[in-house]
């Protein structure tokens, strides 16, 4: 059964990015007990900063959804490191917190957040079903459209 999640990633044609280097004075994750707290991840994948701007103004909701998926991918890259490379150790996605840089009248954060949520459930199945909050904020680091924080239980 080893490599179960790696096999699932291959089946979904999901490739994890190189884990992004923190843009400031913090670390990508901290484990305490069997909980892993992953730092907020921006929606840029490597050099690709096309998911810049605010949803509802510069980006469509669909582009926002893609940005949320990017943030989840960056989160999973760090989670894999937290698991010593073995994502089969993930017992549960405890929670995702999804910050969406939003135009003042944009209230479609739930659909945007699904770009992250659906990816996590596709990959982990029942273990990927998580609690969540999605909120619309004024601006995010580096002008990215979405930032995702997450908490995971691993064994």
For 3, phi and psi rounded to 5 degrees? 80, 15
Q: Which residues bind a copy of itself (CB under 8 A)?
A: 22-30, 32-35, 37-40, 92-97, 99, 101-111, 113-114, 117-118, 121, 129-143, 147, 149, 151, 153
State in angstroms the smallest separation of the CB of 88 from a copy of itself.
Answer: 18
Query: CA-CA distances (angstroms) from residue 52 to 1, 47, 71, 88, 121?
Result: 39, 12, 12, 33, 25
Smallest distance from a copy of itself to CB 94, Å: 5
Nearer to a copy of itself, 19 or 28 (CB): 28
Q: How far is the CB of 20 from a copy of itself (least distance, A)?
A: 12
Decide whether 34 or 60 has the Cβ nearer to a copy of itself. Answer: 34
Q: How far apart are CA 51 and CA 67, in angstroms?
A: 6
Q: By the 8 A CB rule, do 106 and 56 touch? A: yes
Select 3 or 141, whichever has its Cβ closest to a copy of itself. 141
Report yes or no: 96 and 150 within 8 Å, Cβ to Cβ: yes
Shortest CB 141 distance to a copy of itself, Å: 5
For strands 146-154 and 131-137, give the pairing.
Answer: unpaired
Helix (H, G, I), strand (E, B) or coil at 28: coil
Q: Which is nearer to a copy of itself, 55 or 87 (CB)?
A: 55
Cβ closer to a copy of itself: 6 or 77? 77
What does residue 138 show for φ and ψ, rounded to 5 degrees?
Answer: -70, -45
For the CB of residue 10, give the shortest distance to a copy of itself in the complex, in Å: 22
């Amino acid at each position: 059964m080893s490599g179960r999640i790696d096999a699932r990633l291959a089946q979904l044609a999901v490739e994890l990015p190189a884990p992004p280097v923190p843009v400031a004075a913090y670390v990508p994750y901290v484990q305490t007990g069997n909980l892993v707290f992953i730092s907020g991840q921006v929606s840029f994948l490597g050099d690709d900063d096309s998911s810049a701007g605010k949803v509802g103004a510069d980006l469509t909701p669909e582009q926002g959804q893609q940005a949320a998926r990017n943030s989840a991918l960056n989160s999973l890259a760090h989670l894999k490191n937290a698991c010593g490379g073995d994502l089969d150790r993930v017992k549960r996605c405890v929670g995702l917190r999804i910050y969406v840089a939003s135009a003042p009248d944009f209230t479609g954060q739930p659909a945007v957040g699904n770009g992250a949520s659906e990816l996590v459930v596709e990959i982990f199945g029942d273990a990927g079903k998580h609690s969540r909050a999605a909120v619309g904020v004024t601006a995010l680091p580096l002008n990215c459209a979405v930032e995702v924080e997450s908490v995971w239980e691993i064994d």
